[in-house]
Structure 1
């Protein structure tokens, strides 16, 4: 009986541990000749200022009900990469639209995912009217 109970605990905790896959993805965006930054993301976003001269994005992804192989393929296809649109001195960062599509996992279950992003913006930008504007140093 004791062995059966231990086996039950092992199976329960192994399903909890192996039921979620996590990965961090990093991206950098050059701000040469950029005076404004606009961020259009539907995921959870945290903004931090840092002393660098470009934007760094850390995307922490938790993937549920799917295999590591499925998750790796999604990463390779660029599912979690941001899209940058550069127009006259403005950089717009946005989702690529892929994260809104549902994924069928093993046994036809729908895979869930949680994406939390931290965006590191240079200290010489300030938030104003929905965009980050470069502050002139005088």
Structure 2
């Protein structure tokens, strides 16, 4: 009886240690403004959905389930990037790929484990599907380059042409360059007495 109980406890402990292990992993990647194409290289054994969202970056959400393994083994796989992603930037391309594209089988205590990985990839909604695992967005319009042509003549502003509007002229009071002075004119002053009549002068001379 006691032997049977011990055996049952051992089997129960083994079943608990090898129960289903789950974990949700998130990663984010910045998308440069110069990126016009997104290219995905993903592990073929997983399932993926690529969804647009209002963010400016890429976010991955991996839901991992592992069966018939142990917690230490599962933690080791996660820490070594078995279910992660990495990004590489090109001139106008951003490539996102699985970190481990050749996953080896998982074995724990002589038993093979099984895994299920479901991934959702959120990309900026400015990108549209252009092919299998390829998404693109319109490039920003470059300014027109005029080769062999003179640049267009810019219209001068009023302050550059020296023109003054009539309204401004009315509001301005110009100060004259010279000041006009009115000088009164007076007749010359004679110091000799001219107020004595000529006849009176002659009479005095005859006396």
Q: Same fold (TM over 0.5)?
A: yes
**Count of residues in Structure 1 that have an aligned counterpart in Structure 2:** 127
1:100 to 2:108 alignment: no
Residue in 1 that maps onto 2:112: 110
Query: Is 1:34 equivalent to 2:35 in the alignment?
Result: yes
Partner secondary structure for residue 49 of structure 1:
strand
The question of whether the paired residues in 2 share the 8 Å contact of 1:80 and 1:99 is answered with: no
Structure 2 gap ranges (5+): 1-7, 142-207
**Structure with larger RCO (C-alpha < 8 A, sep 6+):** 1
Distance in structure 1 (CA, Å) of the matches to 2:101 and 2:111: 18
Shift of 1:134: 1.6
Q: Pick from 75, 80, 94: which aligns with 1:91?
A: 94
CA contact (8 A) 1:126 1:135 kept: no
SS of equivalent residue, structure 1 residue 74: helix
| Higher percent of residues as strand | 1
Give the secondary structure class of the aligned counterpart of 1:79: coil
Task: Call closer, same or farther: CA 1:68–1:24 in 2, change over 3 Å.
Answer: same
RMSD between superposed Cα atoms in Å: 2.6
Determine helix, strand or coil for the equivalent of 2:113: strand
Paired with 2:95 and 2:116, the residues of 1 have a C-alpha distance of 23
Q: SS of 2:82's equivalent?
A: coil
TM-score, length-normalised on structure 1?
0.80
What SS does the corresponding residue of 1:70 show, helix, strand or coil? helix
Q: Deviations over 1:4-63 (max 9, x none)?
A: xxxx9xx89xx58x6211100001111012111011212200111100000000000001
Instruction: Give the TM-score taking structure 2 as reference length.
Output: 0.55
Relative distance call for 1:68 and 1:99 in structure 2 (3 A) is farther
Structure 1 residue ranges (4+ consecutive) displaced by more than 2 angstroms after TM superposition: 96-99, 135-138
Q: Is the 1:50–1:120 Cα contact (8 Å) retained in structure 2?
A: yes
